[in-house]
Amino acid sequence: MAPWSGLWGGRAGGDAYRGTPVVVKMENPNWSISEISPDDADEDFLVGAGATGGGRRKGGRGKNAKQITWVLLLKAHRAAGCLASLASTAVALGAAARRRVADGRTDADAGAAGAAGESPVLRSRFYAFIRAFLVLSMLLLAVELAAHFNGWNLAASALALPIIGVESLYGSWLRLRAAYLAPLLQFLTDACVVLFLIQSADRLIQCLGCFYINLKRIKPKLKSAASPDAEDPDAGYYPMVLVQIPMCNEKEVYQQSIAAVCNLDWPRSNLLVQVLDDSDDPTTQSLIKEEVAKWQQNGARILYRHRVLRDGYKAGNLKSAMSCSYVKDYEFVAIFDADFQPNPDFLKRSVPHFKDNDELGLVQARWSFVNKDENLLTRLQNINLCFHFEVEQQVNGVFLNFFGFNGTAGVWRIKALEDSGGWMERTTVEDMDIAVRAHLHGWKFFFLNDVECQCELPESYEAYRKQQHRWHSGPMQLFRLCLPDIIKSKISVWKKANLIFLFFLLRKLILPFYSFTLFCIILPMTMFVPEAELPDWVVCYIPALMSLLNILPSPKSFPFIIPYLLFENTMSVTKFNAMISGLFQLGSAYEWVVTKKSGRSSEGDLIALAVVPPKELRHQKTGSVPNLDLVIMKDPSSPPTMNDAKKKKKKHNRIYKKELVLSLLLLTAAARSLLTKQGIHFYFLLFQGISFLLVGLDLIGEQVE
């Protein structure tokens, strides 16, 4: 390496030479710092060192040698610390894996009871090919490593030559790979890339629409003023409103939901609350009955309703409640799930939009989450749902007057429900079903982005996984059932195209399909068939841009952009499985598991409700005034009961075999990518494989000691 007169050499202009000449030898992949003594150095290397430099050379040499030694020691210390932290992390991960395996509970054990009517062959066939890919990838990795270390770098022109021994077999594999496997894999890669670009363009257009809405400050406006007269509190727009709270074994959250609904600021005579309890636990039924009785004694118009025949899950529960004779006296129905707590002014901010707008069938409010900062899982869910409400729902509501009903925190015109056929139990997404049928009948929807309703997010991966399975299998069931009705409907061609291609195919089918196929199957297989190429912009740049767009509605979550990208690809396994189950009507498509709630927000919400501003109490004769002192609140200092102890014993973390299998496949592909020196592919596969490993061991979300 040629010497230079800069940091390590002498200075120009006659400055004396200071320090020891050092040559940095860059040898790929190692590098070393060699110290050269002045006696052995080339004279040209010491240009600029004067006659007096000899006296300074000795002292300067010792000083620079010490500096280099300290720098190297510091770097060695940092490297050792990094290795120690990695080692401790690996040990902790291994210990967690050992505990999970020793516990002996897997996701297959969890789904055995819920899918009792499903054939074991059908349940295992779907991911059988992934296991085959894993075995094949391990064999290919072994072959590629042997070829790499033995120097079997066969050129394309030499593949036709007869080679004996193991090299002949390897040459045959290369010819087979290039002639048959690579074209097929490249075709699948190109097809998925096209779908990926179409879906990315759709998301970009939605984000631009949201930007335009915020720039122009567009939001649904009231057709006529509905504010009450200051002198006559009974004046104003106060139609008859029915409030429904469907619940099933919601022991943790029933108090806060009933308290919040009974605290709605609406004339008491024009408001009726239905508590639709589908609980099969007698203790839970008794507790909810007592809670309803307390609010009845307090003056609230609230009814408890329990079905004898619990068919149709939530849709059957709502359908049964709408069949009551007194429902005909009400014009609107507001629906809140058991963990939702609307603000007292919820009805005053949502119901007036119906006035003088006979085409309006639904007003949907957005959700806010009281436990969004509880753990990493809730933070990632918050990113997803903020984008869903801020971008998807708002853009569709403003430009199309249509979006999927979220099943709660919404107000329906009862006439729109009846005109659309009412609640049906044919799918697990009864909310989307009624929204699509109402849209086909010409009803319009409003989304109120500035009206929020608090709820809580699933804090365990098991609960979130089951929720996502239901949310992604139901739309495919609905698509099969609604497609003929969409084609035969009288709505415009543009609205039909939007429903079929954008609402269902692109966002409900293509999105989970390409996410799973492209990043979990095709990408690792291209490492073993390098003739099929996946560009860097598909692996890194476009996904990073899409993740950045997704995180814009929740800017405080920006530090979690990389975990969000990895976790979304990890969840594509569950979403793809659910999509296939719903599309082909497999047994798990009809599985309904109530999302577990922690009730973490109940204490804070009840305290907030207890402090009622004086202006909210000025019309006590017309509003429902709660007595929150009578709300049963469990004393944290009270000793745990036997039932609590049994419940705690039942809680445990699981291991998820599908995610673990994919983690091994991705990590094996990452090791193979080192041989081809594909940097971006290696890092993506490595981190994605680690993400699958963490999720497979249930190390994300709530942890049970």
pLDDT in tens, 125-145: 545 666 676 677 777 677 767
CB 553 within 8 A of CB 391: yes
Helix, strand or coil, per DSSP, at residue 624: coil
Choose the most confident range, by mean pLDDT, from 157-161, 409-413, 552-556: 409-413
Highest mean pLDDT, choosing among 33-37, 67-71, 247-251, 481-485: 481-485
CA–CA separation, 250 vs 602, rounded Å? 12
Catalytic residue among 431, 433, 605, 698: 431
Residue 445 phi/psi, 5-degree rounding, is: -125, 145
pLDDT tens digits for 628-668? 333 334 443 344 443 444 444 456 778 888 898 899 889 88
Q: Cite the beta strand spans of 288-331 per DSSP E.
A: 302-306
State residue 133's pLDDT score.
66
The pLDDT value recorded for residue 685 is 92
Residue 113 tokens read as 């009871």
Question: Which tokens is 330 given?
Answer: 């009400």
Res 32: pLDDT? 45
Q: Read off the DSSP letter of residue 595.
A: P
Residues, the chain, total?
705
Q: Is residue 674 very low, low, confident or very high in pLDDT (cuts 50, 70, 90)?
A: confident
Give the residue with greater pLDDT, 15 vs 500. Answer: 500
- The reported pLDDT for the residue numbered 640 is 42
Residue 108 is predicted with a pLDDT of: 56
Closest CA to 418 of 446, 397, 443: 443
Mean pLDDT for 671-678 is 75
Mean pLDDT on 335-357:
95
Residue 181, by phi and psi: left (phi above 0), alpha (psi -120 to 50) or beta?
A: alpha
Q: What is the pLDDT of residue 589?
A: 66
Mean pLDDT value across residues 671-698: 85
Determine the Cα–Cα distance for residues 626 and 614; give it in Å rounded to an integer. Answer: 14
Closest Cα to residue 15, out of 59, 41, 46, 42?
46
Q: What is the pLDDT of residue 597?
A: 72
Q: For residue 497, which phi and psi values (nearest 5 degrees)? A: -65, -40
pLDDT at 426 over 60: yes
pLDDT of residue 47 exceeding 60, the answer is no
CA nearest neighbour of 592 among 365, 336, 312: 312
Note the pLDDT of residue 74: 81
**Rounded Cα gap, residues 3 and 454, in angstroms:** 68
The tokens for 418 are 């009846």
Helix (H) or strand (E) holding 452: strand 444-455
8-17 pLDDT, tens digit each: 344 444 444 4
32-36, 258-262, 566-570, 618-622: range with lowest mean pLDDT: 618-622
What are the percentages of helix, strand and coil residues in the chain, rounded to 5?
Answer: 60, 10, 30
Residue 104 CA to residue 321 CA, distance in Å, equals 43
Side-chain-side CA neighbours of 314 within 13 Å: the count stands at 27
The pLDDT of residue 420 is: 95
Higher pLDDT, 705 or 670: 670
Q: What angle do CA 59, 63, 65 make, to 5 degrees?
A: 115
Residue that wins the pLDDT comparison between 216 and 85: 216
Kindly tell me the number of DSSP H helices and DSSP E strands found in the chain.
Answer: 25, 10
Integer angstrom CA distances of residue 150 from 21, 147, 154, 168, 245:
40, 5, 11, 13, 69
Comparing 254-263, 317-326, 601-610, which segment has the lowest mean pLDDT? 601-610
pLDDT for 156 beyond 50: no
* pLDDT recorded at residue 394: 96
pLDDT the model gives residue 102: 65
Mean pLDDT, rounded, for 406-435: 95
Nearest to 565 by CA among 588, 595, 587, 542: 542
Mean pLDDT for 448-467 is 93
Cβ-based neighbours of 31, under 8 Å, separated by 6 or more: 24, 25
What pLDDT is stored for residue 305 in this prediction? 95
pLDDT band at 232 (very low <50, low <70, confident <90, very high): low
- Of the residues 265, 277, 278, 339, which is catalytic? 278
Is position 278 annotated as part of the catalytic site?
yes
Mean pLDDT of 677-685: 82
Characterize the bridge pairing of strands 332-335 and 341-342.
unpaired
